[in-house]
């Protein structure tokens, strides 16, 4: 199942830098592990914002929920999810 996910990050302005840096480092490691596994297929930064659009390829809604709530930055995010499916006019064979 493919999902487009927009994640907007809102770290508190008074969060100490060492705590923010630790959370960001854990977030990067977790996201890169998911990218290597193929579950997090794409990630794009939104220019000028602390936000991204990502494509996830997971087995179920529950798996996506578990992945998103496992993000170290999850408590500081606003997330919107859109279910996707292959377009019949697509020329890509790997768009499931």
Residue boundaries of the structural domains of the chain:
2-84
With cut-offs at 50, 70 and 90, classify the pLDDT of residue 31.
very high
Q: In sequence order, which residues have a C-beta less than 8 Å from that of residue 24 and are 6 or more positions away?
A: 72, 73
Residue entry with tokens 């006019």: 89
Q: 65-75, pLDDT tens digit by residue? A: 999 999 999 99
The pTM (predicted TM-score) of the whole model is 0.90
> What was the pLDDT predicted at 44?
98
Instruction: Quickly name the fold that domain 2-84 has.
Output: Alpha-Beta Plaits (3.30.70)
Q: Where are the alpha helices (DSSP H) in 1-96?
A: 17-37, 61-69
Question: Checking phi first, is residue 84 left (phi over 0); if not, alpha (psi -120 to 50) or beta?
Answer: beta
Q: Which residues pair with 5 in a beta bridge?
A: 54, 81
């Amino acid at each position: 199942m493919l999902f487009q996910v927009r994640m907007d990050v809102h770290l508190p302005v008074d969060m100490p830098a060492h705590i923010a840096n630790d959370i960001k480092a854990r977030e990067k490691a977790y996201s890169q592990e998911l990218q290597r596994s193929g579950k997090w297929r794409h990630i794009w930064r939104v220019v000028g914002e602390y936000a991204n659009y990502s494509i996830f390829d997971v087995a179920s809604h529950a798996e996506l929920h578990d992945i998103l709530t496992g993000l170290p930055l999850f408590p500081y995010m606003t997330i919107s999810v859109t279910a996707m499916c292959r377009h019949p006019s697509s020329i890509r064979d790997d768009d499931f």
